[in-house]
């Protein structure tokens, strides 16, 4: 008998999630039937989307939502060999039985020098998010100026580097001096610590006195109020996240934006990366190529041990990570 | 000697413009030089954009901005015959001298049964605004649901009818029962008086329980907060105006919209119609054709007398007009 551990959500989060909101549960898995396979999670992903989605898609007692890189340890399904790796979406769970439906299998020719955790990172969902969210929605042109916040995060750090690959000037903001140093290391033209600048407006103006053509939005709220005013005519805003708003019980308020949208002829679009699901292989191919060429640098913030997953999640929400936050079982 | 009258702005408006903010000035025009022509305004346009633009583009003492249909009364320029009509942008002025640069000439074959005021109305700037702002930004598909506010206004009434021509279900709101009656007359599927409904949310839900694919925004502010929540996945919002915000000295505030934009994958774009200037003839051709076929009905709210132009402008801002507000000299 195989034992499977899962983290469930005890009750809906209020504000920032707390350790006591999670409960570790254990159950025994039944023997495999024909067509089934047993997998073990190798790397589990913790991502900002889990906070708002817990409210929208879960009820108390449910296993926390999420994806992982999992390895087949036993198979009664000829389509899935033991030892192969797949990205699955079964939530915060160590072992599980599946028929393989909906798996995104890792390429067999996975580069030897790259960790498979990239399949939930720079060459996985966060990578696809950066790739499509920037290229399809902002459509940045060579020579344009791109602003990204949460720039040292899993998605933001890739957005900035993809914009550099496309010949843009890239400005990023993050919440610590270490992160700012990291952004400069990976090629951002300008980077600042939004927590220590005198004023965000001044920092944005200094970083690009001419304004911004593209704005990859991860934060929302007050940050967006200020950034919107620095957009150029025909600026494009890709709304990938709004992490400053996820923990609010009462919706926060700010100035109406219609007049900015109007007179600057701005375009703002929110997206969920799943709309491009059919094109994930295309994105993964590009991302792995750029990584192999050294054009796309990645950094992982690894929390060791499944038992530490809630702490890893909370840490990611408070911004302790540089790059992608993953849990190594 | 020809005398020209102009309305100037005495000082920047605070809140709703008042009659004493305007001053009628008179001056004598010099004789024409070679290449010049003398024109008289026949119809002058009053439009919502003048309120925010007075703040952005004018200083106290300037002639009020705006366009008119003007007739050539004397010409020393062989390119412009006496008796021809042109749309010009010289502001609130009865007579003026020009070299003809930048004129949009009315087609010589102007339909006999249509007033030339349409060239600043349904077959002019408001028409182009409705045509491009709806078709290019909302891109409504047959069977989709389109919401438009200020629906009995110069632009809104055309937006709804163009959406009907494209096979959409159209919901409009306006600020009086007479306007609602008018909207039903011109073919809106659903229309309501936003001032008398119990709740805007309920009215929007009743009019289209399934939600809205397209939202043509003329109002902004609280209206937008409620409407945004009724959008369907992948909804498109065309920000044409924000009349509820134009008179604010201190920017009004409301809930941040990034989470709606994100989870519904909405696209919002502001526009100024001038971006399609090269395509005005295309739009005018379609608009005049639809008008001639009876598919596009227009209504004009005519204020007689140049001396009443400030009152006509203020009345338009407070919503006393159905359809296009024009001043007949």
Name the residue in chain B with its Cα closest to that of A219: B258
Whether residue A239 lies within 8 A of chain B, CB to CB, comes out as yes
Q: Cβ A259–B217 below 8 Å, yes or no?
A: no
- Cβ neighbours of B271 in A, within 8 Å: 262, 265
> Which CATH class for the B2-116+299-328 domain?
alpha beta
Q: Give me the numbers of helices (H) and strands (E) for chain A, helices first please.
A: 9, 16
Residue A247 has pLDDT above 80, yes or no: no
Residue B243 has pLDDT above 90, yes or no: no
Give the pLDDT band (50/70/90) at residue A245: confident
CATH 2.60.120.10 is held by the domain A2-113+300-328: no
Q: Is the dihedral of CA A121, A125, A127, A130 positive or negative?
A: negative
Q: What is the pLDDT of residue A243?
A: 86
The average confidence (pLDDT) of chain A is 95
Give me B189's structure tokens. 């599927």
pLDDT digits over B100-149, tens only?
999 999 988 888 889 999 999 999 999 999 999 999 999 999 999 999 99
- Determine how β-strand B169-174 pairs with β-strand B190-193: parallel
Minimal CA–CA distance to A47: which of A66, A64, A60?
A66
Q: What is the pLDDT of residue B294?
A: 94
Give CATH 3.40.50.720 domain extents, chain A: 125-274
Q: Which residues of B221-249 are buried (b: 16+ CB within 10 A; e: fewer)?
A: bebbbbbbebbbeebbbbbbbbbbbbeee
- What is the crossing angle of helices A280-292 and A156-165, to 10°? 80
Whether residue A266 lies within 8 A of chain B, CB to CB, comes out as yes
pLDDT digits over B158-189, tens only?
999 999 999 999 999 999 999 999 999 999 99
Give CATH 3.90.180.10 domain extents, chain A: 2-113+300-328
Minimal CA–CA distance to B217: which of B137, B144, B295?
B137
**What does the angle CA B203 – CA A271 – CA A250 come to, to the nearest 5 degrees?**
55
Q: What ipTM was assigned to the predicted interfaces of this complex?
A: 0.91
Give the pLDDT band (50/70/90) at residue B201: very high
pLDDT digits over A56-72, tens only?
899 999 999 999 999 99
CATH 3.40.50.620 is held by the domain B125-274: no
For an interface test with B, which of A226, A256, A276 has the most B Cβ atoms less than 10 Å from its Cβ?
A256
Residue B214 and residue A153: Cα distance in Å, rounded?
A: 34
Query: Is B108 exposed, middle or buried, given 0-12, 13-18 or 19+ CB atoms closer than 10 A?
Result: exposed
Mean per-residue pLDDT for B235-248?
A: 90
Give me A192's structure tokens. 């600042």
């Amino acid at each position: 008998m195989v034992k499977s551990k899962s983290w469930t959500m005890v009750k809906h989060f209020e504000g920032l999630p707390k350790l006591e909101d999670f409960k570790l549960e254990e159950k025994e898995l039944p023997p495999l039937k024909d067509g089934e396979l047993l997998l073990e999670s190798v790397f589990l992903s913790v991502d900002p989307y889990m906070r708002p989605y817990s409210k929208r898609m879960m009820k108390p007692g449910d296993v926390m939502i999420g994806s992982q890189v999992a390895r087949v340890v036993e198979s009664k399904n000829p389509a899935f060999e033991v030892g192969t790796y797949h990205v699955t979406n079964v939530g915060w769970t160590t072992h599980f039985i599946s028929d393989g439906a909906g798996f995104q299998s890792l390429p067999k020719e996975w580069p030897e020098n790259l960790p498979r955790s990239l399949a939930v990172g720079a060459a996985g969902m966060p990578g696809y998010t950066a790739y499509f969210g920037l290229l399809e929605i902002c459509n940045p042109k060579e020579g344009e100026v791109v602003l990204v916040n949460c720039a040292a995060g899993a998605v933001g750090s890739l957005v900035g580097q993809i914009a550099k690959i496309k010949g843009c000037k890239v400005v990023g903001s993050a919440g610590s001096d270490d992160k700012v140093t990291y952004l400069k290391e990976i090629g951002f033209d300008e980077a600042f610590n939004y927590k220590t600048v005198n004023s965000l407006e001044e920092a944005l103006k200094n970083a690009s006195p001419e304004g911004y053509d593209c704005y990859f939005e991860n934060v929302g709220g007050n940050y967006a109020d200020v950034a919107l005013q620095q957009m150029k005519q025909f600026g494009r805003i890709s709304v990938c996240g709004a992490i400053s708003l996820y923990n609010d019980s009462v919706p926060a308020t700010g100035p109406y934006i219609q007049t900015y949208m109007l007179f600057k002829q701005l375009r703002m679009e929110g997206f969920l990366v799943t709309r491009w699901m059919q094109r994930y292989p295309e994105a993964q191919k590009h991302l792995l190529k750029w990584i192999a060429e050294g054009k796309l640098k990645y950094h992982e913030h690894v929390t060791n041990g499944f038992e530490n997953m809630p702490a890893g999640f909370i840490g990611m929400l408070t911004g302790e990570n540089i790059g992608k936050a993953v849990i190594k079982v």
